[in-house]
Amino acid sequence: MIEKPVPPPRLLLVDDSPSNLAILSSALAQYPLYTATDGLQALEIAHRELPDLILLDIRMPGMDGYETCRQLKQQAKTQHIPVIFVTGLDDEEDETLGFALGAVDYITKPIRPNILRMRVAAQLQLKARRDQLEQMADTDVLTCLANRRHFEVVMQKEWNRALRFSTPLNLVMVDVDYFKQFNDCYGHVAGDECLKAIACSLNASLRRAGDMVARWGGEEFVCLLPGMTKAQAADLAESILQRIRDLNVAHAKSIVADYVTVSLGLAALDLSQHQSWRQLLECADQALYNAKAQGRNQLVVL
């Protein structure tokens, strides 16, 4: 799959002094910057923009830097953003409190631009490594789709959202028809290439921001489709069927076609039947079983 270019890290600078902001902005001009002059504004920008690093003054009118950091670390959306305190307070107690609140570094004024840049770069490098490790933990190595563990986390969030706002939620289970026979005929390398092609096609089929496709295991995939009606989800599933056919991957051992096909099972949230997202998944899995029992290369909706 084609890797997307990595955007440059973005920084949020927070200081009530325009002159201090100017010094910080000049020293860190190589990065895209957001600026805030008080704690409330900093919280708003942090929640909206999710910067990669926050440089935070302590003594500010209203909400000081300590309270701003405390609130950042209490919110799930912002708690993983590293914070560096940049302040004129150089007492050991102040520095100790800063680290106790979750800061990753504590820099005292006056600012030394070269040292500031090096310490900022070090924290950004650490964050990039953490992000990479998290992505690896959430991603299937072969297909580069979300893995089962990550899917379950996202699925729980979407389930909670659907219950809270009474919005539709659909699951589509996808299984490659006669995949064992494909591997036996063409070899496991060809089998891996087949799965990658199908994964790419599935990913291209889901264009909305909330849609998600994951590798469930082996030759099975699962598509999460929140916020669309059952009929819309069925139309999308039918288009997936055709997309896979159009790949025209030869399959001499398939009984249903001379190319690779898939079977799909669709289930939509019904609170009279589903008390958890796992029950919804079981329903989609039953629909998939029915599709395979009825001849494969088709969609069954329950």
Which residues are known catalytic residues?
A: 219
CB 171 within 8 A of CB 280: yes
Query: Which residues are within 8 A (CB) of 55 and not within 5 positions of it... i.e. 6 or more apart?
Result: 11, 12, 13, 14, 24, 28, 83, 84, 86, 120
CB 51 within 8 A of CB 12: yes
CB 265 within 8 A of CB 302: yes
Question: Quick one: which of 250, 252, 261, 270 has its CA closest to 291?
Answer: 261
**What are the tokens at 8?**
């440059």
Angle of helix 65-74 versus helix 92-100 axis, rounded to 10: 20
- Tell me the one-letter amino acid at 84: I
Q: Provide the terminal-to-terminal Cα distance of the chain, rounded to the nearest Å.
A: 33
Cβ-based neighbour number of residue 117 at 10 Å: 15
| Cα atoms in the Cβ-side hemisphere of radius 13 Å centred on 108 | 7
- Tell me the one-letter amino acid at 48: R
Q: How distant, in Å, are the alpha carbons of 189, 196, 199, 204, 215 from that of 141?
A: 14, 10, 12, 18, 10
